[in-house]
Each structure stands twice: as structure tokens, then as C-alpha cells.
Structure 1
Amino acid sequence: MIAIAGAKGGCGKTVTTLGLAEGLARTGTPAVAIDADRQLPNLHVAGGVDREPTLATLSSDEDVRAIAQVSPRTSNAGIVPAPEPAEKLEIESALDRIETGSIQTIVDCPSGAGPDVADALSGADGVIVVTTDSNRSLAAAETTVEMARRLDVPVLGTVLNRCESVPTAVESWVGVPVLGVVPEAESPLTDEETTAAYEGIIETLRTRNATARTPPAYDEGLLPTGIDVLDRRLGGGLAPGSVAALTAEPASQSEQLLYEATAPRGTLYLSTERSATNVRRAIETAAVETGNPTVRRVDGADALEEAMENVRKLPDGATLVVDLADGLERHDRSAYVSFLNDLKDRLIESESIALLHCLNGTDRPANRTATIHAVDAVFDLRTVESGTETTIEHYLSIPKFRPEGALTETIELAFDGPESVPIETKPDTE
């Protein structure tokens, strides 16, 4: 989830939100633009859609696309208006409920630097700061950057709206790359120059992320996940201390990725549903390269305590696999959030990584939103049947990845043996 922010009203946040969402859709990534400004909502007006349904109508178990109105300019982009002032809704909680999966969400934040902006920013994986070249707008943009940093939200860069060049003041900003310059236009969402500029910004984000994750040599400070095609895309793996969620449908064969994750180093495999014997047997007979993990069963009313007791014994530089996280997510929310915090602390202390296996079935736990919010990365596996002979294809996308954001391509996987390689890489077209 990417937030679009700028403290100065009129800097072009709303049009930038729509421009990027529609640019993503045109270039192969489904996207939804969401209005988080309930006091001065304007996304539906600029987007040319109805005022309702609003974000307030999104239920906890509903895909955001179910309430999104299709953009009149781009069929693969959706628009969700802000709640009516009379509708009782906490924006941060509403955004936390949104599971992006294979879709990119772009959030139009309110202007200013108050609590409403903080609520919208807090749930984002990164923020793009929008400004014009006026002194007031530039000063307001710097305020937004500082606010994002205080909230620990990565600043992905800045978009210079209605500009022809980069102002000198922006060139002096540290850690805020210029993503693109959008010229002034009467109809910026359809003008050829401005739409090309939005697509250029998207390409800059993708290129910058890809460059950071896939240098010529793997970053020796990262820990490989064992999933080769994923490690190549991440530039070598995950940073020590990282927690990742693997989300998938029940029949997706996602366990194969968990088994691969046991190969690079010592692994503690916590099973909440299968016996330790069954897990070991499955790993031994897997068609992928695996390691020899320590397997423990944790279940019942004391599952969180048992899991944490095992996590405290995690050796330095190890991998933790929790399969399924669903079994822990069904416990009391406060206790589960405390477990996630303690888990993160132990991973940082031991310089280890964790992979939480989360199924997207009909009985998805209520605490799934807490998991998605807490983790550093989400790897989403989709299984697709195609062709007259029912060919099964597996696609892995990365809708969330700190600190760079989530603009990635989908990886096609093969589960046919230790030498599995990507058959091809293509943009997500769901």
C-alpha cells in the first residue's frame, strides 16, 4: 500500500493518486485508488465516479475490489471514495483491513500534518510526497517527509507536479529521490504527456526497487529464503530480523515453498495442525531441495506460549517457519499481537528470519490483518488452471516489501523438482 501525501492543499495529490493507479493498470498491474480524506473528499470528483459506495462499506472479509468503481478511463483500475462525514469509521483501521494480494493500492491522504494524515500514513508500506515548485508547497512537502519519518513510514520519493524541471530546493533533500516531473495539463488524466509521466514514475519505482534487490552479486548481509527465484528478485534474500508472510489458497501447494525455505540453514519448523512425524515425512519426500529442520508441534489453548518458548531457543542466524500461522491467529488479539512483537524482537536479537504460512480460505482468522500489518514482507502465491488439459500454473507476487514498497512483477514458479526455475516473468494481470 502506497500513500500519496503533501501538506499543502492543491499540490496535486488526488490527481497523482489517480494518475499512478491508472498508469499501473495500463502497464499490467491492477490498482485501486482510495480516498482517505473524509473532510474534503475529492477523489470521486476528479475520477469521474459516483460518491458511493465509500470505504466505510468495506467489510472485514471483503476484497476491496468488490466496492471499487471502475475508472472510466482504465478498466483495470478502481476508485473508492472516502467515507461520508456522518459515517463512523477509523481510516487507519479500515486501511488495515485491506488485503492487497495481487493488487496495488494507492491511498490519497488528507492535506496538512494533523492526526488524519497520520492515520492514513500509518498503514502504508511507503509514501510518495507530492509538491509543486512554489515555496509554500516545497516547505509543506518537507513537513510531510519529516512526519513520515517520525511514523517510520519509508519515503519512496517525490513527484513534482505541474513542473518543467526539478527545483533547486528539492535537489538538496536527503533520502528523497525525485520519481518524476509531471507537466501542467488541462486534462492530466488523459493528456499524452502527463499520462506518459505517470507511467515513467511507475517505471522509476520498479527499476529502483529491482536495482536495490538484484545487484550483480547478492548482498552478503541478506539471508537467502531458499526459494531461488524469490531470492534473485530480492537481491539475495531477507535482512536478518525480517518476518515474512506467505499467503496462499489452501490448494496452492504453498507448502513446497516452506520446504524449500529449510534448505539454506538450520530451521525451526513449528506446525500448528500436522504432527511432527507427518511434516518430516512430507519434507523428506518433497520434490524440491530441502534441509533437515527441527520440527515441533504447537497447538491448543497454549499454542502461543509453546510457540514463543520454542522461538526463545532459536539459534543465531536461523530460519523459523510457522505452518500454519492460522492456528496462532485464532487466539486472543492482544496475546497474538504481543507474540508478534516478541517474535520480532527475538529475530532481531538472533539475526534470524521467519516465514509465516497464512491461508486465504473461507475460514480466514480475524487476526490476519494484524499479521499483514506486522510483517516486513508478504509473498502471495496464486494457483491458476489454464488450457483445455487443465494445466496448473503457480504465480508468486510481492504486494508488500519494506523498505522499498511493493511495485514488483509476478514470478511464475514450477514445483516439479529441485531444479525448479521460473518459466517466465510477467506482470500481474488478475
Structure 2
Amino acid sequence: MGRPLRHLLAIAGGKGGCGKTTVTLGLAAAYGRQRRPLAVDADVDTPNLHLLAGTPPDPAPAPDADGRDPAARAHPASDYRGVDVLPAGGTGDAIPTSLFDRLPGDRPVLVDCPAGASRAAADPLRHADAVLLVTTADPQTVEDALKTAAMARTLGTRVLGVVCNRVDTVPPSLAAAFDAPCLVSLPRVRSVPTEACRGSFDRLAAVMGPNP
């Protein structure tokens, strides 16, 4: 029997700075125009999801003694309407794997993953229903993303597709490198709320559907 579908999407890439956090929030904002997604910061090495989202760095106080519902500790993102953000808290420790099992199943959950191949990077991939890879056209970043794709498949997680960041069009060589579709390219801008980026993320959300 397979694991239950919880609509948990890992946003991953092998190298820091490739744009995972930008894609996490941009895609969450696109879903937020229809539903209320939860963006989770699992990147304990560089926990900056809260900085881009405009939320406090620590999770909200637990509403009960056990803290059974992690989503209840999320903050509404001030800069992204319709998106809730669960920050990493800046502890530097790996996210407890039990947290992934307790995330809600009634709305999209997007997890901003750590770079690399550590246990902290593998745990979100292991618990996700699918992974969306993020890379730039830089050869080293592509190579690291390919390693992340291989790790995800080894863990039994479906690679949904690839987002190519900081390019106007996807290079043909990049599209051929992954055994997964290159779903969208993002222009050379760093601010997600621009109209150019918003259109790209809306197209990405439409291609992926409401339940990634």
C-alpha cells in the first residue's frame, strides 16, 4: 500500500542560491490566488523563507501542549496574500521527521528544502509526494540539481519537473539534461512580485494543477 497523498511538494536544488526560496514563495502565491497553501522552511542551514515572506523568524506559539498541528504555528505572509509560512526557527538542527507526517493534507504544502545531500536535505524528499527541482543555467548548479534528482528517485519520490531560474528561455542543452520536463523559466529578476514573475508562476501552477 502506498503512502497517503498529502499534496506535499518539495522545492529542491543541489546548490544554495539557485532560487529555491523564491520559487517556493512564488508558486505558493500563485496557489494562494485560489486556495491557501502552506510554505514550510526546512532549509535549516539558510533559513530565509521568513525574510522574503515578511514573517517572524520563529514559529508562532503552539496552541496546545503537544503542538500536534504544525500548521497552527504558521504566520500569514505579509508580502504574499493567501500564503501561510512555517519558519524553521533558526535552530540549525534538522527538522524532526515527525513534522512532515503531521502537515495538513487538505491544502498544498510547499517545502523549501536544504541544498546538498545531507540527511536534512533527504528527509523532506523522502516524505514529499513529489519534488520540483530548481536550477540556474550555471553548469555546476545543473550538476548539483541532477544529483538532487537522483537522490529523490532513489528515495522513491517523483520528480515533477524543473524550473530554470535567471534565464529568459530554457537552453536546449538544459532541457535535455533532466529526465523530467522543464516547466518554466524565470526572468533575470530577484523580486517575485513583479508582473513578469507572477505570470511565470501562474503558468507553473496551471501546468502542475491544484494538487501537485
- What is the aligned partner in structure 1 of residue 97 from structure 2? 92
Residue type of the partner of 1:17?
A: T
- What is the aligned partner in structure 2 of residue 45 from structure 1? 51
Match 1:205 to one of 193, 203, 208 = 208
Q: CA deviation at 1:56?
A: 8.7
Alignment CA distance shift 1:169-1:141 (3 Å):
farther
1:19 equivalent to 2:21? Answer no
**In structure 1, what is the Cα distance between the partners aligned to 2:83 and 2:63?**
19
Q: CA deviation at 1:194?
A: 0.4
TM-score (norm 1): 0.45
Q: CA deviation at 1:198?
A: 0.6
- What is the aligned partner in structure 2 of residue 166 from structure 1? 170
User: CA contact under 8 A between 1:132 and 1:161: conserved in structure 2?
Assistant: yes
- What is the aligned partner in structure 2 of residue 68 from structure 1? 74
Alignment CA distance shift 1:45-1:192 (3 Å):
same
User: CA contact under 8 A between 2:28 and 2:37: conserved in structure 1?
Assistant: yes
2:199 is paired with a residue whose SS is helix
**In structure 2, what is the Cα distance between the partners aligned to 1:92 and 1:152?**
16
Bigger fraction of residues in strand:
1
- What is the aligned partner in structure 1 of residue 160 from structure 2? 156
- What is the aligned partner in structure 2 of residue 7 from structure 1? 14
Q: CA deviation at 1:97?
A: 1.2
Q: CA deviation at 1:39?
A: 2.3
Match 1:195 to one of 189, 194, 198 = 198
Q: CA deviation at 1:181?
A: 0.7
Match 1:145 to one of 143, 149, 152 = 149
Task: Give per-residue Cα distances to partners, 1:122-160, cap 9 Å, x unaligned.
Answer: 110000000001111111111111010000000000011
**In structure 1, what is the Cα distance between the partners aligned to 2:138 and 2:94?**
34
**Residue correspondence of structure 1 range 376-391 to structure 2 within 5 A:** none
Q: CA deviation at 1:99?
A: 2.4
Q: CA deviation at 1:75?
A: 3.0
- What is the aligned partner in structure 1 of residue 116 from structure 2? 112
Q: Which structure has more RCO (C-alpha within 8 Å, separation ≥ 6)?
A: 2
**In structure 2, what is the Cα distance between the partners aligned to 1:140 and 1:98?**
28
Task: Give per-residue Cα distances to partners, 1:5-55, cap 9 Å, x unaligned.
Answer: 0011110000100101111001x1210110001222110112121112269
2:177 is paired with a residue whose SS is coil
- What is the aligned partner in structure 2 of residue 240 from structure 1? none
Root mean square deviation, CA, Å: 2.2
Q: CA deviation at 1:175?
A: 3.1
**In structure 2, what is the Cα distance between the partners aligned to 1:29 and 1:100?**
13
**Residue correspondence of structure 1 range 168-247 to structure 2 within 5 A:** 168-188=172-192, 190-206=193-209
Task: Give per-residue Cα distances to partners, 1:341-400, cap 9 Å, x unaligned.
Answer: xxxxxxxxxxxxxxxxxxxxxxxxxxxxxxxxxxxxxxxxxxxxxxxxxxxxxxxxxx9x
Residue type of the partner of 2:29?
A: E
- What is the aligned partner in structure 2 of residue 388 from structure 1? none
- What is the aligned partner in structure 2 of residue 31 from structure 1? 37
**In structure 1, what is the Cα distance between the partners aligned to 2:63 and 2:131?**
25
2:134 is paired with a residue whose SS is strand
Task: Give per-residue Cα distances to partners, 1:151-171, cap 9 Å, x unaligned.
Answer: 000000001111111123322
Residue type of the partner of 1:85?
A: T
Structure 2, unaligned runs of 5 or more? 1-7
**Residue correspondence of structure 1 range 415-430 to structure 2 within 5 A:** none
**In structure 2, what is the Cα distance between the partners aligned to 1:123 and 1:75?**
27
Residue type of the partner of 2:97?
A: E
Alignment CA distance shift 1:89-1:171 (3 Å):
closer
**In structure 2, what is the Cα distance between the partners aligned to 1:178 and 1:56?**
39
**In structure 1, what is the Cα distance between the partners aligned to 2:180 and 2:61?**
30
Q: Percent of aligned positions with the same letter in both sequences?
A: 34
**In structure 2, what is the Cα distance between the partners aligned to 1:57 and 1:84?**
20
Residue type of the partner of 1:32?
A: L
User: CA contact under 8 A between 2:44 and 2:94: conserved in structure 1?
Assistant: no
**Residue correspondence of structure 1 range 323-402 to structure 2 within 5 A:** none
**In structure 2, what is the Cα distance between the partners aligned to 1:113 and 1:165?**
28
2:124 is paired with a residue whose SS is helix
User: CA contact under 8 A between 2:60 and 2:75: conserved in structure 1?
Assistant: no
